[in-house]
Structure 1
Amino acid sequence: MRTTDEDVASVVGRMRRVGGRRDGLGVFNAVYVEVTRAVGRQLAANGFEDAETAAQLAVRFANRYLKAVEDDARGRQAPASWRPLLRMRAHRDIHPLQFALAGVNAHVGHDLPLAVVDTCRATGREPPALAADFDRVGEILTAVEERVREELMPGPDLLELADPLTHVVGSWSLDRARDAAWAAARLLWALRDRPDAYEECVRRLDAGVGLIGRYLLTPVGRRT
């Protein structure tokens, strides 16, 4: 299968259809559309070491998120990492920034390492061959996350009211989540020929990321 920047554009189209509802999932979806469009621009500008493999990684990454949303919509159980956001997406006392970070946490913590393994299986490459482009995708994620924090975090005049929010969102780091995702991808790749151990590791990874998601969605009261 050959993957191109056009395939990346097609998943952006699918994401835009997901984001019609103005709720917590819609907040994250808007962030992820921005990330995926930035990846597409980098592909068009030859900004990756291996554009074909990077495009495959981006599409497989996106498809895991889209499948979780589809499963939930069809009454099938989504991964544990996505359940907090999917179940609490309409909660009125959760700040938009929390929804955005909870989605990034689920996607990076659970979907990204699995997408790396999927891509390695499909291309016959080892994870180290994807390291540079993995880091490039991570840089794009970080740039968007920093902008989202600036746009959604209450200003200094609301800082006292937002103390619980500051505590919750300040306790999670995208850099640490990226590092953990890479370590998980390498571990899963090492276990690829041991199905029982591999599946147990995936289940525990999913549960752990879901636990962090539940913390990130602690209701703190909406601020205007």
Structure 2
Amino acid sequence: MVRLEQSVVGVGGVVVRMRALGAGWPERDGVAVFNRVYLAVTEELGRRIDAGEFPDRRSASTLDVRFAERYLTVAERGPVPACWRPLFQFRRHPGVRPLQFALAGINAHVGHDLALAVVDACRELGCAPEELEDEFERVGDVLVALEERIREELMPGPDLLQIADPLTHLLASWSLERAREAGWSAARTLWALRGLPELAEEFADRLDAVVGLASRMLLTPLDR
């Protein structure tokens, strides 16, 4: 497991940590595939924040960093929650395609981590989730644009990807837009339950398990 002892903060610090992780993994490693995808997202978000595309720069940066920290904590030192476990278990499976690794990581991060990151950011900023909705949507727009690029770059060519290819059907079963919507609802629910810590923990555990099941399905081996 790659470790970075140096403490770095802000979006730039997140980029440094992701690059350090990627440097220690083989290119075909499933977590490395996701890490490259997420690094591109983070770099793009950093550029847009610096360019003033987010009205509230502090809120956008806080949400971005808290979001990334959820993944980095798992990748750097663990423990590995249920939503991430399939990706880490299957990361070297020869029958899983790069696009599956990328989408399984996005599913774990958006379906589970994003809700918790919104709550983390709200606590840090002293605001309710509704006050971060604009930043949430703008981050989501970057993710959607990147998902389209990922599919273009990692999807097999039309001569290989036929209608009978299992990957075609697997990809049709998952939607980033639905994952985003579910993440926002989960964030609002967790915030509403903040005064009931036992119930909030139970809800978060259930969310973790459900998202993990979806990630496991996305990583169904398709090739020998």
1:55-94 deviations in Å (ceiling 9; x for gaps): 011001001001111234xxxx311100000111000000
The counterpart of 1:168, out of the listed 167, 170, 194, is 170
Distance 1:155 1:48 in 2: 36
The one-letter amino acid of 2:17's match is: R
CA RMSD of aligned residues (A): 1.3
CA shift for structure 1 position 122: 1.1
The counterpart of 1:61, out of the listed 57, 61, 67, is 67
Alignment of 1:64-143 (within 5 A): 64-72=70-78, 77-143=79-145
Verify the 8 A CA contact 2:21 2:76 in the aligned structure 1: no
Verify the 8 A CA contact 1:35 1:141 in the aligned structure 2: yes
The counterpart of 1:16, out of the listed 16, 19, 42, is 19
Which runs of no fewer than 5 residues in structure 1 stay unpaired? 1-5
Q: Secondary structure at the match of 1:157?
A: coil
1:163-221 deviations in Å (ceiling 9; x for gaps): 10111122110000000000000000000010110000000000000000000000001
Q: 1:175 to 1:161 in 2, by over 3 A?
A: closer
Q: Secondary structure at the match of 2:135?
A: helix
1:27 aligns with 2:30: no
Which runs of no fewer than 5 residues in structure 2 stay unpaired? 1-8
The one-letter amino acid of 1:7's match is: G
The counterpart of 1:198, out of the listed 197, 200, 204, is 200
CA shift for structure 1 position 49: 2.0
State the TM-score, normalizing by the size of structure 2. 0.92
Verify the 8 A CA contact 1:154 1:162 in the aligned structure 2: no
Q: Secondary structure at the match of 2:54?
A: coil
Aligned to 1:45: 51
Off by >3 Å, runs of 4+ in structure 1: none
Distance 2:161 2:64 in 1: 37
Q: Secondary structure at the match of 1:19?
A: helix
1:116-152 deviations in Å (ceiling 9; x for gaps): 0001111111111000110000000010110000111
Q: How many residues align?
A: 213
